[in-house]
Structure 1
């Protein structure tokens, strides 16, 4: 027991230094990327995510135009570059394919190093936010003590940096985070953009926050929900009168209009630029496709079984549906509860900079739970905020363990049934949907517990 206690204290001491955490996280990611090359060469089951092949192929198509592979926008035809959407299932902004072009020149794993680097940069940003904004400074002791005020302040600063290092390690040394980026998923790029947006918002640099919010929304559409919480914070920075009139005056004024205009202008500028080069395929694959996307297999969503039952399988003639049934099965229908809850949470909790991280966390958690399509990677969208939110939560270790167990346990329960469908070919669609409903209930319960524990 003594040995175990000493080992635990040693681990805590080591990772109380942000330099040590940073070195360990970089070394871990490099080792996994190098290992992935060996593993993929010797195993039928690849370590590298299939999406990475999609990204790499899209970059290849841009660099090597041909008769059937030319950018379809007016500028694209003039420039004579290829179309990343020639690669089937590439449904992202062309900026991602452009980012991976050096993989063609330098090394096939270049993109993985970029994604892992974004992970590390996000960890550095989290540490910076913890030290400069999130963690409260320790007050100077007023009791009689042999220590001077300067010594007390130094002790407080040391304690804060140690705590910030341990919290940053929640991101940098999180297996879910580093495994996804080193397998070649691009989620870390968006995570970095979102964190930069939050950084500028917490620093009251609203023009820069608006620009990065527009960039984040261009990269993947869901971050637009964060703008709602920002409106309340911007309004409250200059004081808001009481009542409904005061509330409306806080979110509808010149400052909030400027924030919205810059965000929308950034998003529109990037969209128009991409459209001029790559034309309608960009518009459809990056945005319109996701409005009607159906995924009847890899899906935690509560809408999973309905999608499966109404999925247009080849060779099967679907019966004519009534207007009401068409409305129920419409992909747009699922947006209603999702948007009401996500945007409503932004309006409700986005009142001050101190509450902004909490508001974004709640918005994202709700968005993921009620999304029409949900995979494990989506959980990164809200766990990104946990290192910044933990200092504002009042949760005992016992309850923290319970919440973590329920959060993980419901996923394992679902995955154990999904394995039967994907790898054994068993008809378990209904039971998989039932487990998906258990997942939704469990994660909603965890979310309620976190909301109750918040002490903003």
Structure 2
């Protein structure tokens, strides 16, 4: 019995987990090629076709002004935005361009490779003494096993490897985020600032992490309430904060400016401006989707006016209606929570940045005006880095998992009736979306309550004061 247990433990090494992860991803990519050639329902995500088409437009500019980059220096370059619904940085089309001249599945292998890189970075962050995530006092074999277990939560997560092998590019952004975190935890703030600028250029949401970094770089020697109420100015506007902000904004500006010079306004609109006024009336986890559906410009359903009249529409002013219909309204609670938690928890020692980023990301996703399962990867990426510092009973941990899964299952059961049975369940689906928000907020509250804010190196506050 002892020999069998030892063999199992030895087999559960990071090297073996890594090999299994590679095997799963390569197998799924090969299966996707076989499946897509034989089935009308494709394994490959529609976004992958969008990336591939954009790469082809980029590589093959048309005659005259057809499919030509519209920037001041865009002559001779193709325009990836000729592909409708391509709303990403042109750098993504560039990195998947081998889909056109090497192999159609190149992008999937690239995304899967980024998945593997992310697992390696998580493992390295867990074992690094500078992060303090795992107790230094633990024996080396025990630390390695713990790091392997937590890294496996990412590498062997079906949601992670299925999304990347279907052709989603989220793994690239995840790698950029982890590289930023790795640099910050090791105190290399200039590199962290550069990487954060790259992240925000790639996709806007990592900008919220900048506020956590500002909190971490704020001067600990200045009283918040000192100097007649302006102590916070000296606290946050010190040399380190200004340097970090300047480097990060400059990196973003250089990348964005260079892309604008080549691809012009279509790049700015599709990559950034579109997301500010985006209206998505399709059902999703967001609590805002039903209001968007009722007020969507192309919606000619007479149900909307009836519902509005039931709430005494005559007593609602035009400005209030416009405010509710504005896509910018949803940013208020979302950004207040994401930025606020970043500034508050960011004042903890920098070793707690993974926790701060995790809380920020969960709140950003839950209160986003569009929320799909793919967005869950943004915070699940950071979960293995905070679990070693979460202390809660087995029953509470099981309850948290059950609530997180349960509210999604509750929503999906109603979404199935809408999507596949054609039932008119919009209102019920919206109510379940609200339950989803409440359930996720409860889980976040439990994690915040169970997190060890003081035991940076695995010691409790009582032990440190003894």
Shift of residue 52, structure 1, vs aligned partner:
0.3
1:188 to 140, 159, 171: 171
After superposing on structure 2, the runs of 4+ consecutive aligned residues of structure 1 that deviate more than 4 Å are 5-13, 314-321
* SS of residue matched to 1:419: helix
Deviations 1:9-66 (A, max 9, x none): 8655532x11011111111100010011111111111110000000000000011111
Tell me the distance in 2 between the aligned counterparts of 1:296 and 1:105: 37
Shift of residue 354, structure 1, vs aligned partner:
2.0
2:19 to 14, 23, 38: 23
Structure 1 spans left out of the alignment, 5+ residues? 140-154
Question: 1:344 is matched with which residue?
Answer: 340
| Distance of aligned partners of 1:275 and 1:363 in 2 relative to their CA distance in 1, 3 Å threshold | same
Tell me the distance in 1 between the aligned counterparts of 2:276 and 2:136: 48
1:296 equivalent to 2:296? Answer no
Deviations 1:346-402 (A, max 9, x none): 111002112211111111111111100100011111111111101111022222211
Question: 1:369 is matched with which residue?
Answer: 366
| Distance of aligned partners of 1:398 and 1:266 in 2 relative to their CA distance in 1, 3 Å threshold | same
TM-score w.r.t. the length of structure 2 is 0.89
Instruction: Please give the root-mean-square deviation of Cα atoms over the aligned residues, in Å.
Output: 2.0
* SS of residue matched to 2:70: coil
Deviations 1:161-216 (A, max 9, x none): 11101110011111111110000000011111000000000001000000000000
1:310 to 295, 299, 319: 295
* SS of residue matched to 1:301: coil
| Distance of aligned partners of 1:431 and 1:328 in 2 relative to their CA distance in 1, 3 Å threshold | same
| Distance of aligned partners of 1:377 and 1:11 in 2 relative to their CA distance in 1, 3 Å threshold | farther
Question: 1:286 is matched with which residue?
Answer: 271
Structure 2 spans left out of the alignment, 5+ residues? 306-312, 454-466
Q: Is this contact kept in 1: 2:283–2:290, CA < 8 A?
A: no
Q: Is this contact kept in 1: 2:293–2:299, CA < 8 A?
A: no
Q: Is this contact kept in 2: 1:134–1:388, CA < 8 A?
A: no
Aligned residues: 433
Tell me the distance in 1 between the aligned counterparts of 2:5 and 2:326: 53
Question: 1:242 is matched with which residue?
Answer: 223
Q: Is this contact kept in 2: 1:240–1:249, CA < 8 A?
A: no
TM-score w.r.t. the length of structure 1 is 0.91
Deviations 1:83-135 (A, max 9, x none): 11111100000000001101111110000000000010011000000000243
Deviations 1:137-156 (A, max 9, x none): 443xxxxxxxxxxxxxxx71
Shift of residue 433, structure 1, vs aligned partner:
0.5
Q: Is this contact kept in 2: 1:210–1:259, CA < 8 A?
A: yes
Q: Is this contact kept in 1: 2:223–2:235, CA < 8 A?
A: no
